[in-house]
């Protein structure tokens, strides 16, 4: 019996589909509350990220989501902004204004187009622990200044940080 051969792009699309869920859902994040977005002064987008001990941010990319396929950040979604940490960049920022390169990072692709309400965008981050699994999809029109949008809901800064730190806790053993 012949086994099916899966290409890397098919596997990537399947992982993206797992991340996105059903089309039309407000947003996702596979990083277990690791990242979220909110609006910032001047119409900017603020990326918030919670890292575990020893985890650092390596790359941040902003995509324009095109079409209605369930995969985000795939070949039909153009990269609008791409920044990555320089070798040994520490500490990792917990918040980044999208389009502004944080200290210790350099741009591979500067943001040259305005981020517009009514369009769907995806922010994808890579860390030294997780690559391509932390993503949030959003429409800037739905973002709030006093709440972080993550996992399809809005959170206070404190709640978002607490939920993010929970993912860092070692798993507890079941009661015997």
The answer to the question of residue 7 being in a domain is no
The answer to the question of residue 104 being in a domain is yes
The answer to the question of residue 54 being in a domain is yes
Q: How confident is the model at residue 28 (pLDDT cuts 50, 70, 90)?
A: very low
Read off the CATH number of the domain in which 103 is found.
Answer: 2.60.40
The rounded distance, in Å, linking the Cα atoms of 141 and 139 is 5
Q: Please state which of the ranges 9-23, 26-40, 61-75 shows the lowest mean pLDDT.
A: 9-23
* Residues 64/75, Cβ–Cβ less than 8 Å: no
| CA angle (40, 128, 122) in 5-degree steps | 40
The answer to the question of residue 150 being in a domain is yes
* Residues 107/99, Cβ–Cβ less than 8 Å: no
Q: Report the number of distinct structural domains present in the chain.
A: 1
The answer to the question of residue 4 being in a domain is no
Rg of the chain over all Cα atoms, to the nearest angstrom: 17
The answer to the question of residue 176 being in a domain is no
pLDDT of residue 90: 65
Q: How confident is the model at residue 134 (pLDDT cuts 50, 70, 90)?
A: confident
Question: DSSP assignment of 155-166, as one string?
Answer: E-HHHHHHHHHH
Reply yes or no on whether the pLDDT at 92 is more than 60: yes
Task: Mark residue 43 as left, alpha or beta (left: phi above 0; alpha: psi -120 to 50; beta: remaining).
Answer: left
The answer to the question of residue 93 being in a domain is yes
Backbone angles phi, psi at 13, to 5 degrees: -65, -40
For 80, other C-beta atoms within 10 Å of its C-beta total 20
DSSP label at 10? H
Reply yes or no on whether the pLDDT at 120 is more than 90: yes
The answer to the question of residue 10 being in a domain is no
What would the two tokens of residue 113 be? Answer: 């187009």
* Residues 61/124, Cβ–Cβ less than 8 Å: yes
Containing structural domain, residue 90:
16-166
Average pLDDT over residues 131-149: 90
Cβ-based neighbours of 107, under 8 Å, separated by 6 or more: 81, 82, 83, 101
Average pLDDT over residues 79-92: 84
């Amino acid at each position: 019996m012949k086994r099916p051969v899966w290409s890397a792009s098919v596997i990537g699309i399947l992982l993206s589909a797992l991340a996105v869920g059903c089309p039309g859902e407000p947003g996702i994040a596979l990083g277990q509350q690791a990242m979220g977005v909110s609006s910032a002064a001047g119409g900017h987008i603020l990326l918030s990220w919670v890292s575990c001990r020893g985890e650092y941010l390596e790359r941040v990319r902003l995509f324009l989501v095109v079409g209605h396929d369930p995969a985000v950040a795939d070949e039909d979604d153009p990269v609008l902004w791409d920044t990555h940490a320089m070798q040994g960049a520490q500490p990792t920022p917990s918040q980044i204004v999208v389009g502004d390169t944080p200290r210790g990072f350099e741009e591979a692709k500067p943001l040259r187009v305005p981020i517009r309400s009514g369009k769907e965008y995806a922010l994808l981050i890579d860390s030294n622990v997780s690559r391509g699994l932390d993503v949030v999809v959003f429409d800037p029109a739905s973002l709030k200044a006093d709440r972080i949008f993550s996992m399809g809901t809005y959170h206070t800064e404190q709640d978002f940080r607490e939920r993010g730190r929970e993912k860092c806790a070692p798993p507890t053993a079941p009661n015997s």
